[in-house]
Structures are given as structure tokens and as C-alpha cells.
Amino acid sequence: MALDIPNNTEIFKQRDVRETTTTPKTPITQYLSIPACAWIPTNPDVLDVTIQENRSISQQNGILWKAPVNLPQGAIVTACIVYGNAAATAETWSLKRASLPDSGTNLLATANFDTEDTSIDNGTIDNSTFVYMLSSSTMDISDDINGARITYTIS
């Protein structure tokens, strides 16, 4: 299709502007790394933990941990893994979203520590309606969280 613009020779030095075909963007794989020091103990006694740059350690049984997840609008989560020490591999992690404003949660992914989940439910990020977080099952004495990695694509 040609677009004829009157008197365009002086402006564009040409007689018409041609429509060009655009190719769809290829999705680009990106990674979000969440360090151990970003995890927050939430229950029962948050004083019985040690938080270091490279690991967060439970100092008593029954500690629950949470970490914020900040991904770009429209990103599609394709995988998630949370790393821990050998003792932590008996525990589980969950990737969740909470709706705004009522805070009802949905499970997007879950697995044992050091196990990647690639079967993501509701994987398209919608920051206008939801907030996102990682959480742990109850961690025991000397269970470490070493960090997490979320794989996602953007078109």
C-alpha cells in the first residue's frame, strides 16, 4: 500500500512512503536472581535466624520465610527454583501472587528446595492487579536459603 503525501518532495525527497512488513519480536529469556539476604523471616520468632549476604539460616524449627518478587509487567514466568543447603532440600518453596486489594493468593509454582518447577500456572505478570512473592514451608534448625532464580520471557 502506498501513502501519497501532497508536496512531499521538499520534505521527504520522495514521492511516496511504502508500508513495510514488521516481524514479531522473538521472546527474550531473562533471569531474576533473589539473594538470600532478601528473604524475611515471618514466623514464629523472627529473632531466631541469621541473615547473611549469601545465606539465611533458621536457628529454630518452624521458621517461615518470604521474599518479594519484582518482575516487569507482561513478563511470562517459565521456571523458578529456590536454592538451599542439603538439609533444606526436604522443605518446599512456593511462588505466589496476591490480588489487590483483597490479598487473596494463588499458587503459581512449588517444589522442594534445589528443584526447579517449569509448570507455571498464571505465569503472565500483571502488576496492576497482583503482587508476587516467594515463600517457604517451615524451615528447621540449620536449614539455609541460599537464593532463588526466576526465569521469564519478554516479547
pLDDT digits (tens, 9 = 90+) for 61-92: 888 999 999 999 999 999 999 999 999 999 99
Q: Which of 19-23, 30-34, 75-79, 150-154 has the least mean pLDDT?
A: 19-23
What does the pLDDT read at residue 110?
98
Grid cell, residue 59, equals 536457628
In this structure, the number of other CB atoms found within 10 A of the CB of residue 25 comes to 8
24-154: CATH number? 2.60.120
In this structure, the number of other CB atoms found within 10 A of the CB of residue 85 comes to 15
pLDDT-derived band at 49 (thresholds 50, 70, 90) equals confident
pLDDT-derived band at 101 (thresholds 50, 70, 90) equals confident
pLDDT-derived band at 12 (thresholds 50, 70, 90) equals low
What does the pLDDT read at residue 55?
87
Three-class secondary structure assignment of the chain: CEEECCCCHHHHCCCEEECCCCCCCCCEEEEEEEEHHHCEEEECCCCCEEECCCCEEECCCCEEEEEEECCCCCCEEEEEEEEECHHHHHCEEEEEEEECCCCCEEEEEEEECCCCECCCCCCECCCCCEEEEEEECCECCCCEEEEEEEEEEEC
pLDDT at 39 over 80: yes
CB-based contact 92:53 (threshold 8 Å): no
| pTM to 2 decimal places | 0.81
Grid cell, residue 35, equals 539473594
Looking at the DSSP bridge assignments, the partners of residue 93 are 111, 136
pLDDT at 115 over 50: yes
What does the pLDDT read at residue 1?
46
